[in-house]
Structure 1
């Protein structure tokens, strides 16, 4: 009985070993061959002209600003304007009590009349002495004294005229007018307030905000880089005119009107290494107010023979350089080091490292390395960055779409 049981155990062990041997042998390919090529999704690249923009920060500033200050000492008699409203150049803003200035003007006018009368008398005396001296009836000294008196009288008349003009200017300054057109702010004084000539505090401030300016700041390094790209032919503009600018407001909304660069400073800040660009924008609805922070996109031109590469296809090497993988003519993976110039939507703008006709790997590169054999499959990428296989078949609903998710 013990012998029979031992035989049965040996038979069972032999069957178990045979089964394990069959399972282990089934995992290797027949004849010990290499595994099949990995399927990857590719897109064929084609160079194109791509617009290049500079993203800058800036602040809104008024086109012109006028701080209203009195030119005389006096008491505010009335405030004529309405705060926060549009005013035109020459509109009356404030009136100062003018009684003493009218009196000063009248006194200056009287002094001028007296000086003119004295001049007439001196002129008559000079004419008489000149006639008598020609007849040797008076001495030369008398004629010289008459001439001096006449010249003095003429000088007194000119001085009186200047005093009258000064009095007129002071009288005119009792009415304070707007020097420029724009939006006027709040009044800094009230009726009955004492104001002084050229005081520190402004009575009110007028700002021109349609059109309005936006001061943008960029680094000198970016300026040099842009100039190098233009000189090397990597960046160019079509047509003439100033570069256009688009704004993004503080709440993330786009400002609908485009502006243009109006000037650039000719110096670089010694403390920050930046320079300033000024752009002008129409602002009829007064959306842009002085002091606002904005983001600006400046149109620098177009870059010819440039490639738009999906962001999912660009990785970083150990040295931090952007790289991508392409499929060679013999279906092997090639690694390319790229030169980029920012982004456009969901794509990197690549200026060097790729060429027309390259088959760029956009899906499945997680399983590959440089030199690996692959089987390329044409795919497309939608606006959301989702990869879709362009050929129908089992793979179309498998790896490509799933990897994008």
Structure 2
């Protein structure tokens, strides 16, 4: 009997011990409960901000010319170095002048000859007018008048020939039509230059100022509800500011302005050409260079949500996460948003003082609703930093904006 009772006693003791351990575990677990996770927030304020759009673009020469000869002759001088900058009127090529100088001399001699005949014929005509019907017939008077007027016409013809010869002689000096940079010469000294040649002598491009051509969807430009409703009417477009980012990611230091908006749509691409003009004193922008152009098309009041704090939803909607007054996470979806540099501009569902989450999204997985908001800011490099110290926040989120909400593209993931 004893051998059967002992195991029962042992089991009872173990059960009591396990129950005590379970109670201690619950107390320890309760005592070590994790606090709400920290998230970085910025406080939103209503402000007037630019409405922008970024478009693919390409630099185009302000003026471009293919320099061609207007007379035929042998090239006797090439007065420039390939790729050189030239001023309007600078000599580029010299065509052999001997033939054209001779043509001018011949034309001048013909003019002198024509002028020499005029006084005698004029005197003869005046004499016949005095003696008509008194020793001279009407026919003689008519013949004298005809000879005189023909001499005058010969003089005008000779003057025109002289002018033509002077023009042709002048065309033997081939000069730059405007300031610009030359290409590579297609002809050398000793070769025959001719207006009928299929190739130009050299190309010339004016780089300062310079155009930047942008291509926008026709639906955006031409729609009454698009970004550019005013572009359909005649107006001064110089107030539309344009900045460009170069192919290496750097910003071009000079801002330009919109110069012209085309009123036709490219049939193959469905886009409208917008053209801006930029000062280019250092020739940083070169014809054919591809850039990204950002246009400031308007200004509007609203709240800026950095793109690093936003998520693009289906249908083009934008969502962002906020911290409520009782420190709970709240997701808001915005239907009507506009682009302002690298941020979204919203006009509803936000009030002054609302706290937007911009950092710590990785701590919100698993349905976390309670959080501890920590004020942060976004520096000029687009990095989320502590509001006081200026050091980088834990997540190291970055964008291209400032504490007001401008940032680079990217979602909260």
Q: TM-score, normalised by structure 1?
A: 0.78
User: CA separation in 1, counterparts of 2:224 and 2:364?
Assistant: 34
User: CA separation in 2, counterparts of 1:302 and 1:247?
Assistant: 19
1:192 is displaced (CA, Å) by 0.7
1:36 is displaced (CA, Å) by 11
- The structure with the larger Rg is 1
Q: Could you list the per-position Cα deviations for residues 45-84 of structure 1 after superposition, in whole angstroms to 9, with x for gaps in the alignment?
A: 3322333332122111222122211111111111122332
Q: Could you list the per-position Cα deviations for residues 357-395 of structure 1 after superposition, in whole angstroms to 9, with x for gaps in the alignment?
A: 4344565543437xxxx54533123436658699xxxxx
CA pair 319-8 structure 1, distance change in 2 beyond 3 A: farther
1:330 is displaced (CA, Å) by 6.7
Partner residue in 1 for 2:320: 324
Partner residue in 2 for 1:358: 354
Aligned length: 375
Partner residue in 2 for 1:277: 274
The equivalent position to 1:183 in structure 2, one of 167, 172, 181, is: 181
CA RMSD after TM alignment: 3.6
- What's the secondary structure of 1:62's corresponding residue? strand
CA pair 40-403 structure 1, distance change in 2 beyond 3 A: farther
CA pair 225-45 structure 1, distance change in 2 beyond 3 A: farther
CA contact (8 A) 1:37 1:375 kept: no
Partner residue in 1 for 2:30: none
Q: Are 1:138 and 2:133 matched, yes or no?
A: no
User: CA separation in 1, counterparts of 2:224 and 2:374?
Assistant: 35
CA pair 40-321 structure 1, distance change in 2 beyond 3 A: farther
CA contact (8 A) 1:325 1:333 kept: yes
The equivalent position to 1:14 in structure 2, one of 12, 35, 45, is: 12
User: What aligned pairs does 1:3-402 form with structure 2 within 5 A after superposition?
Assistant: 3-19=1-17, 41=39, 44-133=43-132, 136-223=134-221, 242-309=239-306, 311-312=308-309, 314-315=310-311, 321-326=317-322, 334-338=330-334, 339-342=336-339, 348-360=344-356, 363=360, 364-368=363-367, 375-383=370-378
1:24 is displaced (CA, Å) by 6.4
CA pair 74-382 structure 1, distance change in 2 beyond 3 A: same
CA contact (8 A) 2:68 2:200 kept: yes
CA contact (8 A) 1:70 1:196 kept: yes
CA pair 360-258 structure 1, distance change in 2 beyond 3 A: closer
CA pair 8-263 structure 1, distance change in 2 beyond 3 A: same
User: CA separation in 1, counterparts of 2:37 and 2:333?
Assistant: 23
1:304 is displaced (CA, Å) by 0.9
CA contact (8 A) 1:89 1:178 kept: yes
Q: Which runs of 5+ in 2 are unaligned?
A: 28-32, 231-236, 399-413
User: CA separation in 2, counterparts of 1:12 and 1:121?
Assistant: 158
User: CA separation in 2, counterparts of 1:145 and 1:183?
Assistant: 62
Q: TM-score, normalised by structure 2?
A: 0.77
